[in-house]
Structure formats: C-alpha cells, structure tokens
Amino acid sequence: MEIIANAPSFHIRNAASLAKAANIVYQDWDSADTEIRVGGFKKFRYFDVDGTQAFVAANDKNIIVSFRGTESDKMDDILTDLKVNFIDTKHGRIHAGFYTAVKLIIDDICETVKAYRDQNQNLWVTGHSLGAALATLGAVFLQDAKQFVNGVYTFGQPRVGDETFAKKFNIRFKKRTFRVVNNCDIVTRVPMRSMGYSHIGTHIYLDTDGELHIDEELTWWFGFTDRVKGRLETFKEKSIDDVSDHSMDNYLSIINRKLKSQTVV
C-alpha cells in the first residue's frame, strides 16, 4: 500500500491505499495481519473492546490507524445506532455513541502510535461507515496526544457532531481530511442537519459514473440531480442505490478504477 507523503491535497493513490486499509479492517485479524504485512507494514496491532475494533500498522515511512465500521448488509443496525443524543465535550457536542465507542480504545491506540513512531513516520487515519466517524474522533484524540496527523481519509461517513465540533475540527484538519461520498450513500446523510449535526472535512464526491468531484466544484443541485440519476439506473436493475452505494467494496472498486486511469483530482 503506497502512500504519497508530500501530497499537498487529495491524492487518488492515497485514497486507494487508505480505502484498502478501511476494507481490510473488516477481515478476521489473522487475515488482516497477513494482508497488511504483504502490503509492506511489518508492525501490526489490533484492538477489539466491546465491539469497537481498529488496527495500527506501521513501516519505516507510514503509520495507518484504521477503524472498523458496520457491514453494509446490517443497514438497520447502522441506522439504529445513529439515533443517539449528543454528549458535551471541549471539542463541541459529539454523537454520544461514537464518543463512547472511540473512548474504549483510543488511549491504547495513542500509546501504540507513540511506540511505533520511532522514525517520525507520517500518520494516516481511515475508516468506513461508523468506522469513519471513529476515525474523525480518533484524529482529534491523536493530535491532542501530540501525535500529528498527516491525513484523514474516510468513506461513507455519517455526521459526527454539531456545528461547533465541525468548525473546530475544520480549523485543525480540513485541508488534510477527505470525506469520500459515493453517490446515493444513505449513511452520509445521517444524523440529519435538522438534529443539529454538521459534516466535517473536504468533501470528495463520487458521481454515478465514478468520476471524482472535490468540495469547491460541488453544488446542492449537482448532487441532487446525480443522486436521482443513480437511483433511476439502479431502479432498472432492481437494486437499492442508497444501500449498495454504502458498501466499502464499492468504494474501493471505484477508487481503484480511478487510480488505474491515472487521473488525479
């Protein structure tokens, strides 16, 4: 898994490598360990406490922290998990479920990163679905622990906190946080803004043709019409676009196709 350390902004190769890490974390730990080592990372530790799971992998140049989410075929569980109130923190109001989950393992992750970071390696944080929400909070806690985070790439991320949280997060991380959204992915639209939640980071949108669009290019109308197009196409195939677009396998496949075309946003 190659990572471009000095990329000034979103880089498709980094997206592909971190999407792979976000996918590997769904495997059993023996398989994940093997695949990570084949990818060039010789140090590997996983964390599993009361259902909150993640791994830290390191080589001489990079450290990856990948948080596990919920499988796309358990959509009812995902949407149920999102119906939780805020908790007040110094960073703003945060989804109580996400905050409680990340706190189960973040101290051990911070200590592991400190131990592995013996050559001033670059630190990357990633995750999919609920794992993307945990990755967002993980980046905050890692930086609070004086572990500079070089980049955050999330896939299919729900909203994590309120407007205050989003503003504080973006001051620290927006230029190096890339929130990748695949077309009609329903999880990226919850919890709702009407509940007081706000999105974070730089928005990277994958349209129905698999093309990439970055924050400044996006308008509400473009996103709306493209999602309608996606739903019409999958309606013909008798599938549910909002759910299938949330699959991490689909995110990885689209990004890898884009990488092979050697087109960088």
Residue range 32-70, pLDDT digits in tens:
999 999 999 999 999 999 989 999 999 999 999 999 997
- CATH code at 117? 3.40.50.1820
Is 83 inside a domain boundary?
A: yes
- State the pLDDT at residue 216: 58
What is the span of the domain harbouring residue 84?
Answer: 12-260
Rounded to whole angstroms, how far apart are CA atoms 241 and 259? 23
- State the pLDDT at residue 127: 98
Instruction: Read off the pLDDT of residues 94-138 as tens digits, 9 standing for 90 and up.
Output: 999 999 999 999 999 999 999 999 999 999 999 999 999 999 999
| SS3 (DSSP) at 85 | coil
Which amino acid makes up residue 138? G
Rounded to whole angstroms, how far apart are CA atoms 260 and 251? 14
Instruction: Read off the pLDDT of residues 204-248 as tens digits, 9 standing for 90 and up.
Output: 999 988 888 987 555 544 444 444 444 444 434 445 556 789 999
- State the pLDDT at residue 231: 43
**Side-chain half-sphere exposure of 188, counting CA atoms within 13 A:** 27
Rounded to whole angstroms, how far apart are CA atoms 12 and 232? 28
pLDDT band at 86 (very low <50, low <70, confident <90, very high): very high
Is 4 inside a domain boundary?
A: no
Is 116 inside a domain boundary?
A: yes
- State the pLDDT at residue 22: 98
Is 71 inside a domain boundary?
A: yes
Which amino acid makes up residue 199? H
- State the pLDDT at residue 51: 87
Is 2 inside a domain boundary?
A: no
Total-model pTM? 0.88
Residue with tokens 């004086």: 146
Is 165 inside a domain boundary?
A: yes
Instruction: Read off the pLDDT of residues 3-17 as tens digits, 9 standing for 90 and up.
Output: 988 776 899 999 999
Is 54 inside a domain boundary?
A: yes
Find the distance separating the first CA and the last CA of the chain, reported in whole Å. 20
- What tokens were used for 242? 């909002």
Rounded to whole angstroms, how far apart are CA atoms 64 and 152? 10
Cis peptide before 8 (omega within 30 of 0): no
Residue 262 has pLDDT above 80, yes or no: no
Q: How many domains does the chain have?
A: 1
**How far, in Å, are 38, 125, 151, 209 from residue 115 at the CA level?**
22, 16, 19, 43
Instruction: Read off the pLDDT of residues 162-209 as tens digits, 9 standing for 90 and up.
Output: 999 999 999 999 999 999 999 989 899 989 889 999 999 999 999 988
* Contacts of residue 10, Cβ cutoff 8 Å, sequence gap at least 6: 178, 202, 204, 214, 265
Is 6 inside a domain boundary?
A: no
- State the pLDDT at residue 182: 95
